Amino acid sequence: MKQRLQKLIAAAGLASRRKAEGWIADGRVTVNGQVAELGVQADPERDRILVDGRPLPPAEEPVCVLLYKPVGYVTSRRDPQGRPVVTELLGKVRARLFPIGRLDLNTEGLLLLTNDGDLAWRLSHPSHEVSKTYLVRLQGSLSPQARQQLENGVQLEDGLTASAKVARVRQAGSHTWLELSIHEGRNRQVRRMCEAVGCPVSRLKRIRYAFLDLGGLRPGQHRRLSRDEVARLKDL
């Protein structure tokens, strides 16, 4: 069956759909000896598809893993500085998995990884507005005005954030704990939002991603999502 090239490249676990589109635009993909253009469709069983001169590997079985990322791990497959990376924690999972989005080095919690480029593309696309909830520890207390600002949207260097939900605010000595739910995925967004309202973050843990939570996992542990869970993620 003919399918768009970027979808086939993503299904083979080589890259996300978006990245594959870049490869096609850069002329790195050929179909039956001809440089492919964006929008071209091909049949992996009949057509000879090459990326950088190498044949497309057969589509891997799609896998999606939910990892409890510990603090101190880089969200990547490799780190040029030699720090520990999240994929080291996946033990027996043999598929080449890529993280969906990222958590900072010092952020812990729920991270999804997959070789399913289609799933990664759907979940990372800003228009899909997947809700992500963080347990946040702030230095100091959260004034009603600061809370309102977080909820309404905060002006950051890269523009106004969308409205967020604040829940379960609890003061503990010189710190405040709260749950913050956002549906954007900007770089260091939670830390920057809290800092912008005058409350630096001293601990950050992602506790929910859409309908998924960490369940009984401990830092460094993971589990494979069921087919049903993957289908629900694709339907979001």
Under the rule (CB under 6 A), what is the footprint of ligand URA? Answer: 103-104, 107, 188-191, 204
Written as six digits, the tokens of 228 are 């049903």
Q: Which of 47, 79, 104, 118 is catalytic?
A: 104
Give yes or no: 104 in active site. yes
Question: 169 vs 196, which CB is nearer to ligand URA?
Answer: 196
Measure the CA–CA gap between 7 and 134, rounded to whole angstroms. 32
Least CB distance from residue 108 to ligand URA, whole Å?
9
Q: Is 206 exposed, middle or buried (0-12, 13-18, 19+ CB in 10 A)?
A: buried
Measure the CA–CA gap between 96 and 161, rounded to whole angstroms. 33
Least CB distance from residue 5 to ligand URA, whole Å?
32
Least CB distance from residue 151 to ligand URA, whole Å?
16
How many Cβ atoms are within 10 Å of 199's Cβ, its own excluded?
Answer: 23
Question: 119 vs 194, which CB is nearer to ligand URA?
Answer: 194
Question: 30 vs 202, which CB is nearer to ligand URA?
Answer: 202
Least CB distance from residue 74 to ligand URA, whole Å?
11
By annotation, the residues acting in catalysis are: 104
